[in-house]
């Protein structure tokens, strides 16, 4: 690691690194990734252990405060979160301003940004108490906001949160309960949902997290910063990849068509890429994909659709790609998004909700990173440099002479 902080002021030199492949923009003690080993740790704890033994709310506590909670601390944290699960009643009017067929991510981006208007008593970033309240509010309300976006899109009434349910079950309840019908969350589905939240909770300095940090570096309020993160996550190369991966698996449709799509992915003239494959940091199997594959099997077996053609295509595609020299040479493995779409689809979510669910999960990671940045004594406004390659100095030409 070369510390080049004062390189420019001392020498006039700066580095050129599009995509930040070799540039660290911060110190962080939250998440560690060893991309070559395929290792992911939250505050030092391996992701597979957390996915198996912990719960999403406990993981939230860990990411935010650095240590696993005691039973009393977890209970207190859970109570603080559930106190804030409802959104302001006026927010209902805000939803009505959106078209029925608006993408849920468009709604979530807008509503999270608008939280600063509804909760401006927690926008002072210099007040640690307000920072804490804003953090808890977002962790508590994001599931409600995303579930409301879903209900709005399917034309059903909003369902209020149920604070007697755990985080994942409450989210499923708000999405799938309908008036006058009993809805009971299956524990296997709730566990799969909780795992999806846990596996997506943080991933160090990815594009959306870096966006949150960059937005926060100007001292923008936390709701605005998280809304910026949601907007960045929407892209198909980032959070939109699970939606794109499922669409691709369905487009392939059957195992016999896999070679055709593998050939397209390898063809440099064809913009097609295997969605859910490859990662900027993992040059080995994404440890989250392994847990996700296991979870997909559990959910599909509960629902009695073990022979689901999409899962079959996914497993066969993975097998063929992992033996293909093109993918081997480039160290392209399935990432977290490859199997998550299959689970979400089996649970009953439309693909348009996938990225919104990712945003719910990642909110805690964004907040933990934002808080770490705000508390960093070395914090500076982010200001990347550029290599200018436009026109040199020229005189203005009057419009009649152009
Ligand atoms: N299918 C086919 N070829 C690929 C794929 C893919 N999915 N991913 C990378 N490659 C190839 C590239 O064409 C390139 O080949 P070349 O060296 O012959 O030119 C080489 O592998 C390196 O690719 P880069 O784009 O330089 O790798 P980078 O690290 O910048 O990209 C990314 C990572 C964006 C994730 C990429 O692998 C991709 O587009 N994957 C599909 C989208 C996806 O699944 N995104 C989810 C990421 S995980 C997340 O956000 C939670």
Any atom of ligand 1 within 6 Å of the Cβ of 114: no
pLDDT value at residue 182: 84
d(CA 202, CA 18): 23
ipTM confidence: 0.93
Burial status of residue 264 (CB atoms within 10 A of its CB: 0-12, 13-18, 19 or more): middle
Any atom of ligand 1 within 6 Å of the Cβ of 331: no
Unique residue bearing structure tokens 């990671």 = 365
Confirm whether 337 is a catalytic residue: yes
Closest ligand 1 atom to Cα of 335: 48
Any atom of ligand 1 within 6 Å of the Cβ of 362: no
Any atom of ligand 1 within 6 Å of the Cβ of 134: no
Ligand 1 atom 22, closest CA: 330
φ/ψ of 184, rounded to 5, equals -115, 125
Any atom of ligand 1 within 6 Å of the Cβ of 337: yes
Closest ligand 1 atom to Cα of 19: 30
d(CA 187, CA 178): 19
Confirm whether 279 is a catalytic residue: yes
Q: Under a CB-based contact definition with an 8 Å cutoff, are residues 364 and 65 in contact? A: no
d(CA 308, CA 70): 41
Show contacts of 308-313: CB within 8 Å, 24+ apart: 308/342, 308/346, 309/253, 309/254, 310/246, 310/249, 310/250, 310/342, 310/345, 311/342, 312/255, 313/249, 313/252, 313/253, 313/254, 313/255, 313/258
> Dmax of the chain from CA atoms?
76
Ligand 1 centroid from CA 333, angstroms: 10
Within 13 A of 361's CA, how many CA atoms are on the CB side?
24
Cα 157 to chain centroid, rounded: 26
Catalytic residue among 279, 286, 329, 398: 279
pLDDT tens, N- to C-terminus, the chain (402 residues) = 888 888 888 898 989 999 999 999 999 999 999 999 999 999 999 999 999 999 999 999 999 999 999 999 999 999 999 999 999 999 999 999 999 999 999 999 999 999 999 999 999 999 999 999 999 999 999 999 999 999 999 999 999 999 999 999 999 999 999 987 888 999 999 999 999 999 999 999 999 999 999 999 999 999 999 999 999 999 988 888 888 899 999 999 999 999 999 999 999 999 999 999 999 889 999 999 999 989 988 998 888 877 788 888 998 999 999 999 999 999 999 998 888 998 999 999 999 999 999 999 999 999 999 999 999 998 999 999 999 999 999 999 999 999
Number of helices (H), then strands (E), belonging to the chain: the values are 18, 3
Closest ligand 1 atom to Cα of 207: 50
Concatenate the DSSP letters of all residues of 352-383 into one string.
Answer: GGHHHHHHHHHHHHHHHHHHHHHT-TT-----
Q: Under a CB-based contact definition with an 8 Å cutoff, are residues 229 and 361 in contact? A: no
Any atom of ligand 1 within 6 Å of the Cβ of 84: no
Ligand 1 centroid from CA 250, angstroms: 20
- Best residue for ligand 1 mutational test, from 269, 278, 325, 336 (most atoms within 8 Å of Cβ): 278
Structure tokens at 51: 């996915």
Ligand 1 atom 10, closest CA: 278
Neighbouring C-beta atoms of residue 270, cutoff 10 Å: 10
Any atom of ligand 1 within 6 Å of the Cβ of 340: no
**DSSP helix/strand/coil, 29:** coil
Specify the pTM: 0.92
pLDDT value at residue 269: 96
Burial status of residue 5 (CB atoms within 10 A of its CB: 0-12, 13-18, 19 or more): exposed
Closest ligand 1 atom to Cα of 238: 50
Any atom of ligand 1 within 6 Å of the Cβ of 40: no
Catalytic residue among 166, 194, 286, 337: 337
Q: Measuring CA to CA, how many Å separate 184 from each of 143, 197, 298?
A: 18, 20, 18
Cα 374 to chain centroid, rounded: 21
Q: Tell me which residue of 268, 364, 378 sits closest to 30, measured CA to CA.
A: 364
Q: Tell me which residue of 306, 238, 232 sits closest to 276, measured CA to CA.
A: 238
């Amino acid at each position: 690691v070369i510390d080049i902080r004062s390189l420019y002021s001392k020498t006039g030199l700066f580095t050129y690194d599009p995509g930040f492949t070799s540039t660290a923009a911060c110190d962080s003690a939250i998440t560690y990734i060893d991309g070559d080993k395929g290792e992911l740790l939250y505050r030092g704890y391996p992701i597979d252990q957390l996915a198996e033994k912990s719960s999403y709310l406990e993981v939230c506590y860990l990411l935010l405060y650095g240590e696993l909670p005691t039973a009393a601390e977890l209970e207190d944290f859970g109570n603080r979160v559930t106190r804030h699960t409802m959104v302001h009643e006026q927010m209902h009017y805000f939803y009505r301003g959106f078209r029925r067929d608006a993408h849920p991510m468009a709604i979530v981006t807008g509503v999270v940004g608008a939280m600063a208007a509804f909760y401006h008593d927690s926008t002072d970033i210099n007040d640690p108490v307000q920072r804490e309240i804003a953090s808890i509010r977002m962790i508590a309300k994001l599931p409600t906001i995303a579930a409301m976006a879903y209900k709005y899109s399917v034309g059903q009434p909003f369902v209020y949160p149920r604070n007697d349910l755990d985080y994942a079950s409450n989210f499923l309840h708000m999405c799938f309960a309908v008036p006058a019908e009993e809805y009971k969350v299956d524990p296997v589905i709730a566990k799969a949902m909780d795992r999806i939240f846990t596996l997506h909770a943080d991933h160090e300095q990815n594009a959306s997290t870096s966006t949150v940090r960059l937005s926060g570096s100007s001292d923008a309020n936390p709701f605005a910063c998280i809304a910026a993160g949601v907007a960045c996550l929407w892209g198909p190369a980032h959070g939109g990849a699970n939606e794109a991966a499922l669409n691709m698996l369905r487009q392939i449709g059957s195992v016999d068509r896999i070679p055709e799509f593998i050939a397209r992915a390898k063809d440099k003239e064809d913009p097609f890429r295997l969605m859910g494959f490859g990662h900027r940091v993992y040059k080995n199997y994404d440890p989250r994909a392994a847990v996700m594959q296991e979870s997909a099997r559990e959910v599909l077996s509960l629902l009695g659709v073990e022979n689901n053609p999409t899962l079959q295509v996914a497993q066969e595609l993975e097998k063929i790609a992992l033996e293909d020299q093109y993918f081997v040479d480039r160290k392209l493995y399935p990432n977290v998004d490859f199997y998550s779409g299959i689970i979400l689809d089996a649970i009953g979510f439309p693909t348009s909700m996938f990225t919104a669910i990712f945003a719910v999960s990642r909110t805690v990671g964004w907040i933990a990173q934002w808080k770490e940045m705000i508390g960093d004594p070395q914090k500076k406004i982010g200001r990347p440099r550029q290599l200018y390659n436009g026109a040199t100095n020229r005189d203005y030409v009057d419009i009649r002479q152009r």
